[in-house]
Structures are given as C-alpha cells and as structure tokens.
Chain A
Amino acid sequence: MRKLWLNLRLFLQGAILSYIALFRWLRPSAYLASKVFMPLNQILFFTFLGIYATGRDNASFYVIGNAVQMAAVSGIYGVTMSIGGDRWDGTLPYLFGTPANRMAMFLGRAFFHVLDGMLGVVLGLMWGVVLLGLDLSQTDPLALGLTVLLTTVSTSGLGLLMGCLSLITLNMMFVNNTVYFLLLVFCGANVPLAALPGWMRAVSRFLPLTRGIAAARQIIAGASLAEVAPLLAGELLIGLVYILLGYSLFRWFEFQAKRRGTLEAI
C-alpha cells in the first residue's frame, strides 16, 4: 500500500513539475497564441478549404476532424518535449539514477498534456459552434467527452513513443512537425478515409485519432455511446500499444545509456 502511495506521489509530482518546466518560459500570451489561436486558425483554414472543395453543407466534417486533431498539439508536441526536456536540461542522469518506479515516472510526463489536450479539443469544438455553425444538438455529451478523453490518451501514447525517440535523435522537431502534419492526412481529419489509397487506409488503422475522429463525427450526428463503442475500444487499444512500445523503448534506452556511459550525451 505504501509503495502504491509513493508511486502515485511520484506520478503526480513528476506530472506537475514536467508540465511547469515545459511552460516555464511561456507567457500567458504565448500560451494563448500556441494553444488557442494557432488551433483556431488551423481549423478555420482547413474548414474553408473544405467548404471551397465540397460546399458549406460539409463544413462540420472538417470542423470536427480538425478540432479532434487538436489533441495532437498537446499529445505530440507537449509530451515529446516533456520527455526530451530531461535530456536537454540535463536531468536525465539524475532520473535514471533514482530507484523510482519508471512506469509512474514515464506516464507522469503525459498526464497534464492529456488534460491540456482535452481542453484544446473542447475549445476547438466550441470555436466550431461559435464561428462555423457546428450543431451539437444531437450530441450525447458523455459519449463525446469519453471520445475526447480516449483520443487524447491514445495521441499522447504516440507522443510518449516519440518522446523516447527524442532521447536518441537530434532532429526531433522535424520528426514532430512531420508526424503532426501527416496525421492530418492519414487520420481522416480532412480527407475521407474512403478517398485514400489502400495502403494509406491500412496505415491509418494503426494510428491514434483515426477512430476518435470517426467516433466524434458519429456522436455529433446523433449516434449513441453503444454505437461507437467498438471505435472507442480500438482507439484505447492503439493508445495502450503505443504507451507500451514507448515504455519499452524508454527502458531499453536507459539500459543502453548506462551500459555505454552515454547518459549525458546530447
């Protein structure tokens, strides 16, 4: 019981400190720019492009797709930078020197980004309602809330895996940016999956967001939680797979870094 309590404390302290450390250099205006207005502009751009392509009747397709994709702003950039920050700020050797539970430490890096990411998606949907006429009257709020939570968790799972990559590569921002934009293509945020070539559809099945976006569209169109349950289960499963892959890589990196004496290597 005491061990559980200690791990929980480690999880929460790590979560709070890594989040504060990441945003310590941000002023509220910079946070607003990156987490509120940048997403709004992205939603507007792709929605207007979609309206130009297929007409105003389809606006909600693009609004929902891009609003849910906002989970990736926190899930990919935030989580990756939280994990990678330990390398750049020189705290990684201290972390690996402690006997602390690695899983609690590892998952703690994503915790606040999941909450932040959920806020981002909700804000994105609100922008859609206020500015683009998104209709939520048929929506089951509980089902939508659960969809947002699971999608953010699964996207953060991918972020945890990529964060581990940031421990062994120098050009992580290039990888982050590329993955973020590729998710826009592969996950059906702007292009219906049916319109993609077969190999891209196959790839999309192994990515977070794909099922989350599909579920959110169905829920906003009036579907019940039971109807989208298979999609949500798939989204959660994908997230868990990425978390496990990330954790395995994290442990492997720790083992290799200690064995080779490269803990401080940047």
Chain B
Amino acid sequence: MRSGELRKYGRVVAAAFEMSLRQMALDGFILFTVLVQPLIIALMALWMLRERGGDYAIFVVVGSGMTGLWSSLLFISGNSINWERWTGTLETLVGLPTPMPVIIFGKNLANVAQSLSSMMAGYFLAALLFGYPLRVEQPLLFLVSLAFTVVSFVSFGLIIAPVFVINPGVQGWQNAMEFPVYMLSGFLFPIALLPGWTTPLSYLLAPYWAARALHATSSGGATLAEVAFCWAMMLLFSLVYLFVSSRLFRLMIRKARADATLGMQ
C-alpha cells in the first residue's frame, strides 16, 4: 500500500470514528450497553466478591469493563453494517472507492474507544461508593495491554459485522452470545472453574488474552514475558481476524450484488 493511499484511508477512519462517536453519544441502547450494564455487573461483582477483600476490586473494575467492551462489540460493532442498511446509506458506502472494511474499522474503533469508559465508570464506582483503594500495579504494561486490546477487539468486530449480514440467522443468536464470552474469557472469574473441555475455546478468543494481560498488569505480579506472550497472541489473532474479515467482506459484497439484496432489510 502506498503512503498516499494509507493517508487517505487514515482520513476515512478518522471521519468514520468522529461520525460514529457523535451518533452514539446519546443513544439509549448504547449508553446502556457501554455504561449501565457494566456498572450494574461491577456493583454485583463487588458485593459478591467482597469477602475476598480489597485486592479484588481492581480485578472487578477491569473485568466488568471488559464485559462492556464485549457487549458493545457484539451488539454495536456487530450491527455496524446493518446499521447502514437500516438507515439507507449502505449502497452509498459500498459504491465509494474506499474499501468498506476501512469505514467499518473507523466505526468499530469509535465503539471500542467509547466502551473503555465502562472501565473508568467501574473504577469510580469502586473507589467512591465502596471506598476501595484502587491502584494499577504495572501502569505502563497495563496501557500497552489496553492498546493491544483495542486493536484485537476492533479486528474481532470486523469479523462479526459481515457474518451478521451474510447470515441473519446467526444474528438471531446475538443475545445468547453475550455471557458465554464473559465466561470463556475469564473476565470476572478464572476459566479454571469451567469444565476442562472449554479451555481450548478460551484460547481461541482474543478477549481471553486481553483479559489475561489486563488482569495480570492491573493486579500485579506478572512478568514481562507472560504479558508479552498475551500481546503476541492478541496480535496473532488480530492478524487472523483481519485476514478472515477481508474474505468475509468480499463475500458479503459479492453476494449482495449478485442477489441484489444490498439495501434489503
């Protein structure tokens, strides 16, 4: 890719990012997914894990924040193409010279960035309401982990969105997909509690490696090698997701053009 082209795509990503943020800022469903639900989960988890002591507060803050990240990825990023279809702008976007995944990347980036506020809300809840002294033990490693998390979540979103368009039947399972990833990724409890056969499934999910890196760096005690391994896995999965999503986008657009179903609800 030439640098001029890259700059052009960067401008599109920035425009899609800004537009999505503006659209999402006051949407009730998005506010619920990004803020209210993670806060209620944090509240419950803080009460439930109270007997384990203050050390668990930062674990809950990070874990509940990640539930917000996943839920918004599933419900908002997952519908990022369908949203254009519902508002009648999908045909225009497909007709643009800019590849569709670039636009969806910008939209997903805005969504994931906004979802990070759920972690901050959880932080304030635990600190102010419960009075827990909260400290991120390895702040630099935590921030780098957060950056890898954003990239891997955005890439994951690029798979979910075309799948929901290609097969609306899969989208019907959206509600049932929320909690399994909370569990398999170990957002709020270790995956060791789950039956052994589920462990390979966890390893295939970028959110699992994200949760592992963020929990380890926020609670402390992780070696650089351990965290770096999680970063490498997130990077690897991001590349796989990007590769698969590029094929899915191509299939989706070819199928929609062949069947003349692009604008169909």
Contacts and interface: CB of A to CB of B under 8 A. Distances in A.
A185 interface: yes
Contacts of B190: 52
Interface string B179-207: 11011000011100110000000000000
A202 interface: no
B229 interface: no
Contacts of A42: 179
B239 interface: no
A211 to B, nearest CB: 20
A177 interface: yes
Given A49-B45, A185-B44, A191-B48, A33 B173 contact: yes
Interface in B10-56: 28-29, 31-32, 36-37, 40-41, 43-45, 47-52
Given A44-B183, A54-B48, A34 B36 contact: no
Contacts, number: 92
Nearest to B179: A41
Interface in B150-172: 169, 172
A44 B193 CA distance: 11
Nearest to B29: A173
A169 B61 CA distance: 32
A45 interface: yes
Contact of A38 (B49, B51, B176): B176
Contacts of A174: 28-29, 31-32, 36
Nearest to B190: A52
Contact of B173 (A29, A171, A177, A178): A29
Contacts of B180: 41
Nearest to B182: A45
B40 A185 contact: yes
Nearest to B63: A49
Contact of B52 (A27, A53, A196): A53
A195 B48 CA distance: 9
Contacts of A26: 172
A44 B179 CA distance: 8
Interface string A5-44: 0000000000000000000001101100110011001101
A171 B36 CA distance: 14
Given A29-B173, A33-B172, A48-B194, A173 B179 contact: no
B108 to A, nearest CB: 22
Nearest to B191: A48
Contacts of A171: 28
Nearest to A170: B28
Contacts of A266: none
18 contacts: A30-B172, A33-B174, A33-B175, A37-B176, A38-B176, A41-B176, A45-B179, A51-B193, A53-B49, A53-B52, A174-B28, A174-B31, A181-B41, A185-B40, A190-B44, A190-B48, A191-B44, A191-B48
